[in-house]
Chains A and B, each alone.
Chain A
Amino acid sequence: MALTRSALRLFSGRFTQACQVRGYADAPSMSLTFAAPSQVLYNNISVKQIDVPSFSGSFGILPAHVPTLAVLKPGVVTVFENDGSTKKFFVSSGTVTINEDSTVQLLAEEAVPVDTLDISAAKELLAQSQSQLASASSEVAKAEAEISIEVSEALVKACE
C-alpha cells in the first residue's frame, strides 16, 4: 500500500512538474534537457536544432524529429539556440532520447564547452592511449585502450 502510494507520488509530484511546463512550450519548437551527472547545461530550454554524434551516425535534431533513442559517441554536440547563437560542447559518452512530444533528453557522462579544451593536452592523451594499446595484454585492457584512443582522437578533432 505504501509502495503504490509512494509510486503515485513519484508520478504526481515534482517529477511531472517538468512535464507540465514542457506542455506549454510544445508545438513549434522542441524542449532540450542537456545534462551531465554534475552539471546542467540546458534544463527544458526551447532550442532550434541540436547536432549529436552517435554510434549510428551524426545527425541533427529539429522540432518534430521522429522519436528515437541513440547512444552518443565521443564528439561535439552543437546546440542552435532560439536567438541564433550556437554553442558547442564536447561529450564523452551518453544517450539521447527524442520523444513523441518533441522533448529531447541528452544525457552525457561528461560534457564540457569546446573552448575550454587544450589541444596540446588532447594530443598528449592520444599519444598515451596509443602506447597503452601497444602494451595492452588482455582483451579488457585492449578494449579500454581503444576507447581511450577514440575519445582522444575526437578531442583533438574538436580542438581543430
Chain B
Amino acid sequence: SQQVRGMATLKMISIRLKSVKNIQKITQSMKMVSAAKYTKAERELKLARPYGIGAQEFYKKAEVKDEEGEKGQLIIAVSSDRGLCGAVHSSIGRIVKTDIAANPNTKVVIVGDKVRNILQRLYAKNIAMVVTEVGRKPAVFGDAALVAQSIINSGIEFSKGKILFNAFRTVVSFRTTEMPLYSQNAVANASKLPVYDSLDGDVIQSYTEFSLASLLFYSMKENATSEQSSRMTAMDNASKNAGEMIDKLTMTFNRTRQAVITRELIEIISGAAALETKN
C-alpha cells in the first residue's frame, strides 16, 4: 500500500507541475503583451502631457478656489475594466472610500468596472454614473469628450470636485494623484477672474466644458500608462514565483520518484532473499 501511495503522490505532483508550468507560460505572455502596450501608452502620454498640463494652467493662474456651498463633492475615479495589474484599482478605491467617509455628500463618477466592484457593496448610493468598456483600446479624445458630455448632461452639481487617477512616474512606480475640478460658479467667482477681459457666461461655460474633457483625457492617458507598467511588473513577479514553485515541485517529484524506485528494489531484493533463505 505504501507503493500505491508513492505512485499516487507522483501523479499528483506531476499534475501540479504541469499546471504551474502552464500558469508560468500565461503570465509570461501577459507580461510581453503589457510591455508592448506600455511602450505605446508611454509614447502617447509624452505627447499628451503638454496638453494636459496646459489645460490646468488657467485654474492655477486665475487662482480658482472651490465654491463655497453645500452642493457636495464630485469625484471622477479613473480606472479600467481589467485586473491583474497590482495596486492600480485598489489604491483609487481606497481613497474614494476615505473621501466618502469624511464627506458623505459625495457623488462618484466611475470610469472602469474594477473600481465599481470595489465600491458597489457599501457605497452603491454614492455612485452617480459608471463608464465601462475602458482599457481595451488606448483612449482617444473622443472617449473623454463622451464621458464629459454625459457628466454635463446628467446635471450633477457640485461645490468641490476632483479627478482621481494614477499618475505615471516610472516603469516601476506610479502615484495616485488628484486633479482639482471647478464648477462654473467657482470659475466665475475666482479672485483673479476680473483680470481676464471680455468674458461672458457662454465663454466660461464652453471653456469649462472643454477643459473637463481635456483633463479627463489627460488623466485617462496617465492612468493607462500606470496600469500597463503595473501589470507588467505584476506578471513578471508571478512568472518568477511560478518558476520558484516549479523548481521546488521538480525537486519533490524527483525525490518521490527515487523513493518509489528504491522501495520497489527493496521489496524485490527482500523477496528474492527470502526465497533464497527458504531454499
Contact = CB atoms under 8 A, between A and B. Distances in A.
Contact of B53 (A15, A39, A97): A15
Interface SS of B by simple majority:
helix
A105 B48 CA distance: 14
Chain A contact residues (Cβ within 8 angstroms of B): what range? 35 or more
Contact of B47 (A40, A56, A69, A105): A40
Contacts of B60: 11, 19
B57 A37 contact: no
Contacts of A105: 54-55, 57-58
A35 interface: yes
A3 B95 contact: yes
Contact of A37 (B58, B175, B214): B214
A66 to B, nearest CB: 4
Contacts of B198: 56, 68
A9 B60 CA distance: 14
A66 B197 contact: yes
B61 A43 contact: no
Interface string A63-92: 000111111000000000000000000000
B177 A9 contact: yes
Nearest to A110: B141
Interface in A6-46: 6-7, 9-11, 15, 18-19, 33, 35-40, 43
B44 A38 contact: yes
Contacts of A107: 51, 54-55, 210-211, 214
B203 A71 contact: yes
Contact of B141 (A9, A11, A37, A55): A37
A152 to B, nearest CB: 19
A19 B61 CA distance: 10
Contacts of A19: 60
A16 B233 CA distance: 30
Contacts of A66: 197
Contacts of A68: 196-199
Interface of B: 44, 47-48, 50-51, 53-58, 60-62, 95, 98-99, 140-141, 175-180, 192, 195-199, 203-204, 206-207, 210-211, 214, 217
Given A7-B180, A107-B55, 17 more contacts: A2-B95, A3-B98, A3-B99, A6-B177, A9-B175, A11-B60, A15-B56, A37-B48, A37-B214, A38-B48, A40-B50, A69-B203, A93-B210, A97-B54, A100-B195, A105-B55, A105-B58
25 contacts: A2-B95, A6-B176, A7-B180, A9-B175, A33-B54, A33-B57, A35-B51, A37-B141, A38-B47, A38-B48, A38-B140, A40-B47, A43-B50, A55-B206, A67-B196, A67-B197, A68-B196, A71-B210, A95-B211, A97-B54, A97-B58, A99-B57, A106-B54, A107-B54, A107-B211
